[in-house]
Amino acid sequence: MPADPRDPAPATVVVKAARPEVLPDAPLNPPVTLASTYVAGGDLEYGRYDNPTWQAFEEALGALEGGRCLTFSSGLAAVATVLDLVGQGNTVVAPRHAYNGVTMQLADLEARGRATGVLVDATDTEAVIAAAEDAAIVWLESPTNPALEVVDLAAVISGAHGAGARVVVDNTFATPLLQRPLDLGADIVVHSATKYLAGHSDVLMGAVVTRDAEVHTALKSRRDLIGAVPGPMEAWLALRGLRTLHLRVERAQANASELVRRLEGHPALAEVRYPGFGGIVSLVLAGGAAAGDQLTRDTVLWVHATSLGGVESTFERRRRWASEPATIPDGLVRLSVGIEDIEDLWADLSEALSRLG
């Protein structure tokens, strides 16, 4: 059966969504609106409340995730705004292995007596659902960062809802091309748009997507009040990056899968962790922390850096950060596989691994 252009595939949505109206001499791309002040009488009013350039990115990502999107100044600003939905003294359940900024924010809320954070093994579905009995929010990642554990999202979301909790899913690693948590019943999806969505290591931005009108209004009100808004240029760059998301994810995933195939059984490695999709791989070095640190010093193409999701391949030993949980092995090196030629990536990585003995 032929494709229906009225119901395009995600690879088409990333290219076509949020374009200006097709008219003679009209630009193909939405412009950057550099404005802090608008003429009174319309919907915009003031630069902290909205911006046409934000709106374009929000329209595109909302179409990809299947909800309404709000942009923020960073992924952590998005996280903090969502956690603001938690009432005084309420509980948030989150993975013990998660984005470091999330667990640090939960620890901060707990230290200030604002909320209680309960960290669980997110792969233990029954344990997560049991913890949700007293929770306002169940926060999920799949795959988890940096352990790359896969969560049974559908089962956990259903169980958490049965316990009366809202469910938030950080979809930064998978992107909406590989999974759409709202379709599985999640209430809120969070992104660090800095990573795969923008994709070129040149933007700090966050995003939240929901289908719940009440939640959207609450988050918008908090963003207006706190002012955690993106710059117009950042939003424009993120939208430009989003246009090639399907190509970048496809190539990064192909590269990651091939690297995993070649790395299996390597004598320098105690373990290769890969969820079976996406561009993130975690290697546990047999030589522990010292071997991990040496690996990140000994490559030419692979860059030692803490972020991920860009076109270039980066890696780091995660336990170099004191805030990383002790259940993450000392020798775990998280790889963000880029879109370079696979043979070049392999030659560089395998040569560095060979020097570990």
Question: What DSSP string describes 15-71?
Answer: HHTTPPP--TT--SSPPP---SB--TTSS--BTTT--HHHHHHHHHHHHHHTSEEEE
Q: Does 34 share its domain with 130? A: yes
pLDDT at 89: 96
**pTM value > 0.75:** yes
Same domain, 162 and 262: no
Could you tell me the strand order of the sheet in which 314-317 lies?
269-273, 280-285, 332-336, 314-317, 303-304
- Give the mean pLDDT of the chain: 97
Q: Are 39 and 81 in contact (CB under 8 A)?
A: no
| pLDDT value of position 6 | 77
Catalytic residue among 68, 195, 223, 318: 195
Q: Of 4-8, 106-110, 212-216, 285-289, which gets the smallest average pLDDT?
A: 4-8
Q: Is residue 4 part of a domain?
A: no
**Residue 231 sits in the same domain as residue 252:** no
User: Can you tell me the distance from the alpha carbon of 20 to that of 112, in angstroms, rounded to the nearest whole number?
Assistant: 46
Which CATH number characterizes residue 288's domain? 3.90.1150.10
Q: pLDDT category, 3, cuts 50, 70, 90?
A: confident
Q: Where among 212, 242, 272 does a domain terminate? A: 242
Same domain for 63 and 140, yes or no, is yes
Domain contains 271 = yes
Please tell me whether residues 191 and 114 are part of one structural domain.
Answer: yes
- Within 10 A of 223 (CB to CB), how many other CB atoms are there? 23
What is the phi/psi pair of residue 284, to 5°?
-105, 110
pLDDT above 90 covers a percentage of the chain that reads 97
The answer to whether the beta carbons of residues 130 and 104 sit under 8 Å apart is: no
Q: Is 170 labeled as catalytic in the residue annotation?
A: yes
As a whole number of angstroms, the distance between CA 268 and CA 158 comes to: 41
Q: Which alpha helices (DSSP H) does 85-171 contain, by range?
A: 100-111, 125-131, 153-162
Catalytic, out of 99, 180, 293, 334 = 99
Domain assignment present for residue 2? The answer is no
In this model, does residue 327 exceed pLDDT 60?
A: yes
* Structural domains counted in the chain: 2
Look at residue 251 in the predicted model and tell me its pLDDT: 98
Residue 211 lies in a domain: yes
Last residue of a domain, one of 189, 224, 242: 242
Q: What is the CATH number of the domain that holds 109?
A: 3.40.640.10
pLDDT tens for each residue of 124-181: 999 999 999 999 999 999 999 999 999 999 999 999 999 999 999 999 999 999 999 9
| pLDDT-based confidence at residue 7 (cuts at 50, 70, 90) | confident
Same domain for 263 and 175: no
Q: Is residue 1 part of a domain?
A: no
Predicted confidence at residue 206, as pLDDT, reads: 98
Q: What is the pLDDT of residue 4?
A: 74
Same domain, 290 and 227: no
DSSP secondary structure code for residue 190 in this structure: E
Residue 1 pLDDT > 60, yes or no? no
Backbone angles phi, psi at 74, to 5 degrees: -165, 170
Reported as a pLDDT band with limits 50, 70 and 90, residue 357 is low
Catalytic residue among 19, 48, 96, 220: 48
* Domain span at 333: 245-354
Whether 195 sits among the annotated catalytic residues: the reply is yes
Question: Looking at the structure, do residues 230 and 249 belong to the same domain, yes or no?
Answer: no
79 and 29 in one domain? yes
From 50, 170, 187, 293, the catalytic residue: 170
Residues 229 and 251 in one domain: no
Is 48 one of the catalytic residues? Answer: yes
Residues 196 and 230 in one domain: yes
268-307 per-residue burial string, b: 16 or more CB within 10 A, e: under 16: bbbebbbbebbbbbbbbbebbeebbbbbbebbebbbbeee
pLDDT of residue 2: 55
